[in-house]
Structure 1
Amino acid sequence: MQCQRCQQKDANVHITQIVNGEKQETHLCQECAQDMKISLGLPPLPSQNLTNLLGFLTQTDTGDKKERDTKCPNCSIPYKKIREAGCVGCSECYHYFNSYLDPILRKIHGTNRHSGKTPKRLGGSYMIKRQIEDLKRDLKQEVEKERYEEAARIRDEIIALEEKMARGDDR
C-alpha cells in the first residue's frame, strides 16, 4: 500500500479516526506522517504521558559506553536518545533494544506483550502465530516441570494450529 500523501513510498503508518461517527483511514509513509503531525499541530497524544514515564524510568545512566552508542540498524536512533525521549524510532527498535526495554515495559504494564485490539488487516494468521508462540512457551514450562501429559496435549494443539496455518485457514 502506497502513501496517500506523497504516492511514492510504502505506507507504514496507518491512522484510523472516527469523525462524526464515520471511520476514516489514512495510510502514510514515515516522513509524511512526521510532516503531517508538525503541520497539523496535533495536540499531545494520551500515550505521550506514558512515553514521558518511560523516559523518566530509563534516565538512570549506567555509564556503559556500549549501551549509549548502540543504534537501531533500521532507523539509526541511538539507545541514548530513546532513553532520554522515552520514544522509540521505529518498530524494529523494540526488537533491537529488547534487552533494555523489556524490563521497563514489564514494570510499567505488567507484561511486554500487546493485549489490546489488533488491526483487521493483519488477519487471523497473526493471532494464530501469537497463540503458537504462547503455547510453545507453555510447552517448555510443562516439560521443565516434568508434566509430560500436559506437554503432549499442548504439543498436539501446536501441531493442529500449524496445520491450520499451512492450509491458510485463519479462522
Structure 2
Amino acid sequence: MLCQLCDLSSASVTISYVINDKKISMNLCKECAEKKGVDNPMTTLPQMFGNFITQLLGEDSLKRSKLDADIKCDGCGLTWDSFEKTGLFGCDICYQVFSKDLNVILRRIHGSNQHIGNRPKSQRYVIDDFELKKIKLELQAAVESEDFELAAELRDMVRDTQSELNKKVDDGILR
C-alpha cells in the first residue's frame, strides 16, 4: 500500500480517528509520518490534537470575534488560540471559560455535548448495592405491615438482584 500523501513510498504508519462512530484512517510512509509529527506520538500528541481540531472544523469556524479573542482563563491565563494550537486546556476553569466554543466542538465530533455512556464499574456496584438495600428495607416494612404478597414479591426481587450482583462479581465486572 502506498503512502496517501506522497504516493511514492510504501505506507508503514496508520493514523486513525473515530468521529461519530466512523473510523477515518490515513496510511503514511515513515518520511511523511515524521513530517506530520507522528514519529514520536507522546511528544507530538498535543500538536496533533490541536491540528486535528483545526482540520476537522476548518480554519474559519474556529476564528472568534475580536472581543472573544481577548478572553483568557482566570485560572491559568490560557487563550483560545493557545488551546487551538495545543489541544490542551491548562486547568479545570478553562472548561467553564471556553464552554461555548467547546460545546460546538464536542457536538461536531461526538454528536452531543453530554456524556451518555457507561458508569465506572465501582459506581455501578454502589448503585446496585443501594438498590438491593432499598428493596430489603421495603421487604422489612412489608413484613411488619403484614402485607405478605408484597413481601413475597420483594423477597424475589432481593434474590434476583443479589443473583445479578453475584454474577457480575463472578464475571469480573464488579469486585
TM-score by length of 2: 0.36
Structure having the higher Rg: 2
Which one scores higher on RCO, CA 8 angstroms, separation ≥ 6? 2
TM-score by length of 1: 0.37
